[in-house]
Amino acid sequence: MQNYLSTSYSVVVVNYNRKQLLDSCLRSLEQQEDVTRVEIIVVDNGSSDGSVEMVEAQYSRCRFPVRLIRNTTNKGFCEANNQGIAVAAGEFVALLNNDAEAHPKWLAKMGEAVLADPEYGMVASKVLVWEDPRRIDKVGHLIFLDGQNRGRGTGELDAGQYDTMEEALWPDGCAALYRREMLEQIGGFDEDFFAYADDAELGLRARIAGWRCVYAPGAVVRHHRGATLGLQSMRRVELIERNRVLLVAKLFPWILIWLNGVLYGARLAAGAWASLLGKGEISRFPGLKNKSRVAMALMRADLEALRMIPKMLRKRRDLRGLRKLNTREVIALLMKYRIRLKELSQQST
């Protein structure tokens, strides 16, 4: 059996104007224990805050080699990660957000988990809230049957309830490990997603292709939530909603596509009720004016998604040769890891 101590890893970190967070992220990678064959790939999306200069000045003699890819524009999470994956030399490719800091045994624990079974193509980390590491950000993912996904355990106090290595639906792209063999077979991130739900699309595509995901509780990171666009960003709202629709069109069984309007309406109604109680995602947007802005952002997102659906359906047809799970098995998978409507509506990311 392959030993995780001698396994080679490539860690891809995408950055855009987060110099201080990036510095902390890279310092945590420099301190990884029980691994020796590691390379770090920083993909900068045209930062203007000195991020590139900081990497060149401070990490040219890092314990692990650091490779810098400099983009002149912001190519988004998906394309930038694909750039890093394309040049990665490791047997396994890890992703770490620039707003996350890894525990010293993060890589080793993920390597140990993925090598336990050759069907494991992905590893999910235990992601804790940076400001309050007693609280869970996410430990893998759950999904509602309209395509809205949410982190498993989000907002819960970490009392050991997620300290068992077990199968998960897919990992959060904030802190994940992917088997190179899997990525070569199914491809990387769908660049039409740009950001948000991209990890869901890659993860579900991998599951449909027959790969599995394991959750490694010892692979711990602390995450600054919402640092990319901000939790109240309207563009964030638009991307989450648009990409929910694209995910469904590309990968969901047809029966769930036909039911999507009903399921989406039920989720919106439940979310509206939760907001009246001061709970849920919509409660982040107080007042009628802000809620109207959210409604307009959702409408813009759905219109944008409608224009992109023909392209997603073409991609859906192209994936036929990769499918290992049939329709019944995909539905069973989504049901196994579904999030209850009440929990989803009252939870906030």
Q: What is the CATH number of the domain that holds 15?
A: 3.90.550.10
Same domain, 198 and 264: no
Report the mean per-residue pLDDT for the chain. 93
State whether 277 and 213 are in the same domain.
Answer: no
Q: How confident is the model at residue 272 (pLDDT cuts 50, 70, 90)?
A: confident
Domain identity same for 218 and 250:
no
Q: How many domains does the chain have?
A: 2
| Residue 229 is assigned to a structural domain of this protein | no
Whether residues 300 and 172 share a domain: the answer is no
Same domain, 202 and 241: no
148: nearest Cα among 222, 75, 247, 62: 247
Q: Indicate the residue among 223, 249, 264 that finishes a domain.
A: 223
Residue 3 covered by a domain: no
Q: Quote the pLDDT of residue 349.
A: 60
Distance CA 50, CA 146 (A): 41
| E strands present in 132-280 | 136-138, 141-143, 149-151, 166-168, 175-179, 212-223
Q: Does 228 fall in a domain?
A: no
CA distance 67 to 26: 12
Q: Treating both helix axes as pointing N-terminal to C-terminal, what angle do 234-251 and 287-318 enclose, rounded to 10 degrees?
A: 30
Rounded to an integer, the average pLDDT of 55-59 is 94
Confidence of residue 226 (pLDDT cuts 50, 70, 90): low
CB of 198 closer than 8 Å to CB of 77: yes
Asked if 168 and 111 sit in the same domain, the reply is yes
Answer with the one of 153, 188, 223 that is the final residue of a domain. 223
Residues 75 and 189 in one domain: yes
pLDDT digits (tens, 9 = 90+) for 141-183: 999 999 999 999 999 999 999 999 999 999 999 999 999 999 9
Q: What is the mean pLDDT of residues 9-20?
A: 97
- Tell me whether residue 13 is in a domain: yes
Pairwise CA distance, residues 102 & 46, whole Å: 24
- Based on the fold, state whether residues 170 and 96 are members of the same structural domain: yes
State residue 228's pLDDT score. 54
What's the mean pLDDT in 255-272? 92
Pairing of the two strands 175-179 and 120-129: antiparallel
Q: What pLDDT shows up at residue 266? A: 94
Q: How do residues 112-124 score in pLDDT, each as one tens digit?
A: 999 999 999 999 9
Domain that holds residue 162: 9-223
Place of tokens 């004016």: 289
Is the separation of the CB atoms in 213 and 170 below 8 Å? Answer: yes
Query: 75 and 146 in one domain?
Result: yes
Q: Is residue 4 part of a domain?
A: no
Whether residue 99 lies inside any domain: the answer is yes
| Residues 55 and 192 grouped into a single domain | yes
Domain identity same for 268 and 310: yes
Residue 324 lies in a domain: yes
Do 39 and 129 sit in the same domain of this protein? yes
Inside any domain, residue 43? yes
Out of 188, 223, 258, pick the residue that ends a domain: 223
Q: What would the mean pLDDT of 89-109 be, rounded to a whole number? A: 97
